[in-house]
Amino acid sequence: SSINPDTGEPYRLNFPPLSIEDIATAGRSAMQILGIPKIHTIVGLSLGGMTALAYAIRYPDEVKNLILVSAAAQATSFAIAIRSLQRELIKSDPAWQSGNYPKSKGPIMGMHLARKLGLISYRSAQEWQERFGRERIASHQQSSPFDFEFEIESYIDHNAQKFIHHFDANSYLYLSRAIDWFDVAEYGGSVEAGLAKICAQNNLVIGVETDILYPLAQQQEIARG
């Protein structure tokens, strides 16, 4: 969605490959411009937690405190598979046009389905069951035999609809891939060696027992490091 200053048009897929480290470096550049030599506390959730890790590893003397929530030193194969399918759903939408869609008409259906898959993976089966069970929507709300029947279907669809009009599809693809690429083990040959580069005085790692994208074991791995 960023504009190429040389053409005045969106970069689209001509934008260079994006990594979590690039995001961390951009944040540090902003700190330098603002004249802030050190950060008192970095707080990061999910992708933001990975960015916080990258920042603390690459610039260890500039971070005093580090708080990570549902982050990971590297993505699991399950999480990679989920995001891969999300990207495939977006790219399979004819409106994607190999990334060259007009700003006014992007791959709405692909984004909608990708977001629905993401929403499902952000909660555990237990939580979905406790919140919705087998609650059904009113029959008068159905206009065809295969319309939504259950509250969970309606909820997922509604929240996906809210998202798709506020996020660029190509940006989604770039950020999704950046999460898959991130690997703390690249900083020293192992996750432990990479985490050992962090020099923050205080570190707080928070996880959720039922998280399937960023399992609690990954939070424990970071905490041990």
Q: Are 90 and 110 in contact (CB under 8 A)?
A: yes
Residue 19, number of CB atoms within 10 A of its CB: 16
Q: Supply the pTM of this predicted model.
A: 0.92
Residues 95 and 149 in one domain: yes
Q: Are 150 and 136 in contact (CB under 8 A)?
A: yes
**pLDDT tens profile 127-182:** 999 999 999 998 767 778 888 999 999 999 999 999 988 899 999 999 999 999 99
**pLDDT tens profile 193-210:** 999 999 999 999 999 999
Is 126 within a domain?
Answer: yes
Domains identified in the chain, total number = 2
Is 2 within a domain?
Answer: no
Is 1 within a domain?
Answer: no
Is 210 within a domain?
Answer: yes
The whole-number pLDDT of residue 139 equals 76
The whole-number pLDDT of residue 197 equals 98
